[in-house]
Amino acid sequence: MPQSYAITAEAIQAERSRVDNDLDKFDAANVIKLDELVLPELGPKDVHFRVLVVSVEHNIDHAVLADTVNITELRGGKIYPGNSAVGEVVKVGDQVTRFKPGDVVITHCNGEPDIYGYPKRIWAYDKPESIGWYGQEAVVEDWQLIPAPLDCGLNLWEIAALPLRAPTAYHLWRRALGILRLKIDRENLARLNVLGFGGGVSELFLMLARHEGHRAFFCSGSAERREHLEEQGIEPIDQKKFNRFASSGDVKGFSKEVKKLTDGEGIHIVCDMLRGAVFPAGLAALSRQGVNVSAGWQLGQKISYDSALLSVKQVTLDHTHYDTVVGCNACTELYGVVFKPTVHKEIYTFAELPRAVREMHHNTQTGIPIVQVAEDLPASVKSLAV
Ligand SMILES: NC(=O)c1ccc[n+]([C@@H]2O[C@H](COP(=O)([O-])OP(=O)(O)OC[C@H]3O[C@@H](n4cnc5c(N)ncnc54)[C@H](OP(=O)(O)O)[C@@H]3O)[C@@H](O)[C@H]2O)c1
């Protein structure tokens, strides 16, 4: 029987009690544990695939902590997480024409499109009955898979870093740019100032901006990530120089620095993703007519702002989620051309996945964490595993 990682409400409760709800002491590795999984029968539209490589996504941190909602409890007490994977097709149902055994695929996690195509539910998170891909094998309907762009110039680990984060960034960028252009057209302003705060989604967002000729600024606490982005022409700002915006003085200092870097103009588009102390810093850095977009709330779910001030500056706040299925497919065309993600220096084994989640929680990784699930990689990807 294939093995798969599971999170149980019982394990969350036990770990929260152990640390007396002090999330700094919380050990995710005590919550995400190996389990056995009975795969569903192969239906006519299903694809059975072997999981090769996965990336650790931040929603796993939210799931093990139960810090947004207790998704595990809401889903009946147990979930099989993992919504970003590269796999090798083993078998297909008799109505599947897009894939055949031996094909290498990536997943997307739009679990239930709304009438406009955007997800109402995320696969292996809030989509009922969905089984995630932190396991050795999986069965899903064919629309949940995309052919892996193996000749895009990225290595296997970089490809595995993108299935969840790249579509999120792709959607955020389209939305942010569309809103900004409604207010300031290209005739008046060709080159925008774009800022993102640390993290995988933000860095991909900035790569999109940079690729389209804009000035892009990455404000992060990680020297390794700043360096990687600087090589792509993205200007670094050390967030720790401003004490991660612990006080209003730090926010003022940051805003002053940004104004200096942008000849007094400020930032036209901010990608937040974290909220908490980052939100007021992002707002302070915005130019007139600026746009702040976010699909995340890692440091806080509630935000507050001075509505009068934002009206006078004509600032727009926008909230997004994951992309449409069409958008997820389209953005793979940008793998390697635009998206060149920063990968954490260690590739974890399947057995080490809980440690990868723990280290993500403690923010000690130097890039997007990748886990090699299959020990024996197929010939088609072996040369990319470098
Ligand atoms: N709605 C969606 O579809 C969707 C999709 C993807 C992600 N998300 C959410 O968006 C958020 C970010 O995701 P991601 O994939 O970009 O995460 P990520 O790659 O894991 O990056 C998280 C970043 O948070 C920063 N960070 C950690 N602690 C911090 C602190 N105390 N103060 C300031 N920054 C801190 C770190 O940056 P530095 O240390 O480098 O500054 C780290 O790189 C998560 O909450 C995730 O769940 C939502």
Q: Which atom of ligand 1 is nearest to the CA of 297?
A: 45
Hey, which of 274, 294, 366 would you mutate to test ligand 1's pocket, going by the most ligand atoms within 8 Å of its Cβ?
Answer: 274
Instruction: Report the distance separating Cα 11 and Cα 32, nearest Å.
Output: 8
Tokens of 301: 């779910």
For the stretch 258-311, pLDDT in tens is: 999 999 999 999 999 999 999 999 999 999 999 999 999 999 999 999 999 999
- Residues 12-36 have a mean pLDDT of 95
Whether the pLDDT of residue 1 is over 90: the answer is no
Instruction: Report the distance separating Cα 310 and Cα 306, nearest Å.
Output: 6
Residues across the chain:
386
pLDDT cut 70: percent of the chain above it: 100
Name the one residue in this structure whose structure tokens are 């590739």.
347
- Residues 147-160 have a mean pLDDT of 98
The number of distinct structural domains making up the chain is 2
- Residues 211-234 have a mean pLDDT of 98
Q: How confident is the model at residue 164 (pLDDT cuts 50, 70, 90)?
A: very high
The answer on 53 and 101 residing in a single domain is yes
Q: Which of 319, 347, 364 is the last residue of a domain?
A: 319
CATH code at 238?
3.90.180.10
For the stretch 312-366, pLDDT in tens is: 999 999 999 999 999 999 999 999 999 999 999 999 999 999 999 999 999 999 9
Instruction: Report the distance separating Cα 175 and Cα 153, nearest Å.
Output: 27
The answer on 109 and 252 residing in a single domain is no
Domain limits at 237?
167-319
Hey, which of 55, 58, 114 would you mutate to test ligand 1's pocket, going by the most ligand atoms within 8 Å of its Cβ?
Answer: 58
Task: Find the 301 Cα to ligand 1 centroid distance in Å.
Answer: 13
- Residues 54-77 have a mean pLDDT of 95
* CB distance 298 to ligand 1 below 6 Å: yes
The answer on 142 and 41 residing in a single domain is yes
Dmax (CA) of the chain: 63
pLDDT recorded at residue 280: 98
Q: Which of 267, 291, 319 is the last residue of a domain?
A: 319
The answer on 127 and 30 residing in a single domain is yes
Contacts of 173 (CB under 8 A, 6+ apart): 205, 208, 209
Q: Which atom of ligand 1 is nearest to the CA of 220?
A: 41
Q: Which atom of ligand 1 is nearest to the CA of 165?
A: 6
The answer on 19 and 72 residing in a single domain is yes
Sheet strand arrangement including 215-220: 235-238, 215-220, 193-197, 267-271, 286-294, 316-319
For the stretch 72-114, pLDDT in tens is: 999 999 999 999 999 999 999 999 999 999 999 999 999 999 9
The answer on 229 and 347 residing in a single domain is no
Determine how many CB atoms are found less than 10 A away from the CB of residue 369. Answer: 26
